[in-house]
Structure 1
Amino acid sequence: MRAFQAETLESIDSYRSVDLPPPEPGPGEIRVRVAACGVGYVDALVSLGRYQVKPPVPHVPGNEVGGTVEALGPGVSGLAVGDRVMAAVRTGGFAELAVGPAAGALRIPDAMSFAQAAGFRVNYLTALHGLRDRAAVEPGERLLVFGAAGGVGAAAVQVGLALGARVIAAGSSPEKRAFAEGLGARASIDVEPEGWRDRLKTLTDGKGVDVIFDPVCGPLFEAGFRSLAWGGRHLVVGFAGGKGIPALPSNLSIMKGAALVGVDVRQFPLFEPAKAAAELAELLGWVAEGRLTPPVGRTFPLAEAAQALEFALSGAGMGKTVLEIG
């Protein structure tokens, strides 16, 4: 099978297209013929050894895939060869075949494409877990989403709307803001620091926002927290701003009666597996019902896997970037 692999994590140039033997599923595992693999900012960091969890080498990037079950390992039940699934894989999704735990695979609705499935699990579970479990967002509350055109930001816009929030999308370009408004955001705002708080105040009739969903944590981190209404919640989702981890004067939480809340979708299923599984099933139900239509961002063929990683690192994408394998 063809795969995109590196022996070291020095740079994207370390990766090569290689022929590997098909991986065999072990007990409790399945083998998936990969149709599409999600490519996010974190995937790119992992591929370069810059993430908090470093992979062993040789390394094939990619964790989230959409595809068809090709083989079942011993002891697997509830899935069958030929099932259309989204899966979390352990052998890397930048390959024609990948192996992962059967427990991490879910059948996808007929309404969902493989490309949509490949970018769904992490982004949409992050959005629902963050907004409902961590922020307890209420219908009618004002929700500001930073990076609203990115994969997880777009998911937060859509999930926020499904939960009844009034969404304001923050984006770095008119195209990104228009993309987020196309998903249903009722308003949008730029990210130019000069005068930003005043512009946000105008959008909220001087009331500020109740919840901030922040996968960027960039130059507007403190300005965003200062713009919270009384009792507001600022969700720290990630650091796609790429310029270090910002600090916040702790007295601001007292002045605002506000909370800075962490959202870690990697640990959520480890500590609360039943709840995480139920939320994923709920989200897929929304897709099946037509309440949720995940946007697919730019797509790349397997032959352009290096460009896909570079694009994910650039922050230029709108929606989830996808590598199309088959």
Structure 2
Amino acid sequence: MPAAKVEAYADGLCYTDLMAGYYIGAPDEVLQAIADYSAWFFVWDDRHDRDVVHGRPAAWQRLRNRLHTALDSPKDHLYHQDPLVAGFADSVVRLYSFLGEGWNARFAGHFHAVIEAYDREFRNRTSGTVPTVEEYLELRRNTFAHWIWLDLLEPSAEYELPATVRENAAYRRAALLCQDFAAWYNDLCSLPKEIAGAEVHNLGISLIHHEGMRLEESVREVRRRVEECITEFLDVEKEVLRYAERIDKGIDNGSARDAELAAAVRACLCNMRNWFSSVYWFHHESGRYMVDSWDDRSTPPYVNNEAAGEK
């Protein structure tokens, strides 16, 4: 954003407020790093969108390659000529400082997958390809960065969870439900903007295109799926709490023996729950989704349409 647009719009977008609601209890330096990374993510998403809209495949491929490289060696990219790459490197360096090498490698693997999912979205949008519902749901878990936001539960809890916990069926189900809710509620709130922009990546659009639904029917179906996420989470949440109790007692196959791990599991689960209220609040408070007040319903007024990334 140009400076005048920052002054006019930045606070109203509520990006850092959103993270403060997601990761309650995180140490201040962790929460600040996550909030800055989240703000970067929204900017990156808008750059990607503008590269699609203005037909800039070379700029997008250049950015894609630079982000992959910066993810693997972030300290070497802190002063990159593209501020988006430098900002990403700064965020990654800070996030890598909180836990161990295992967490860092997992985060990197997850974000490499996010970059590739954005590339697939770029190709779908530029070719006018609407993914089927199942294709979209699978891709959405990466374009929304499900695994990244779940990884960030751990530095917030100041504990790197072992694979046995992360792969526990109840824990994993609760984690996916909170993220699917967030992604699909985002689709619901983004639908007017994305229809106006003739976009192809939205659950509602896939339902219209491949399931033959009318707009009103697709909205009802997305809403139904969103509500099911809430209902199912409330059930599986109880299973995770029982699992944490078993960990606390040290009887889960000997894989977790102390109260510290059980407390970390409960803290991560609590913040999974916080995603529901925070996502709901954000989408009704942030200027990012107030399309009825925009001159062009397909283009947020704060977006800079210059050819960023071409130089």
TM-score between both structures, scaled by the size of structure 2:
0.28
Q: Which has the higher contact order (CA 8 A, sep 6+)?
A: 2
Q: Which protein is richer in helix relative to its size?
A: 2
Q: Which protein is richer in strand relative to its size?
A: 1
TM-score between both structures, scaled by the size of structure 1:
0.27
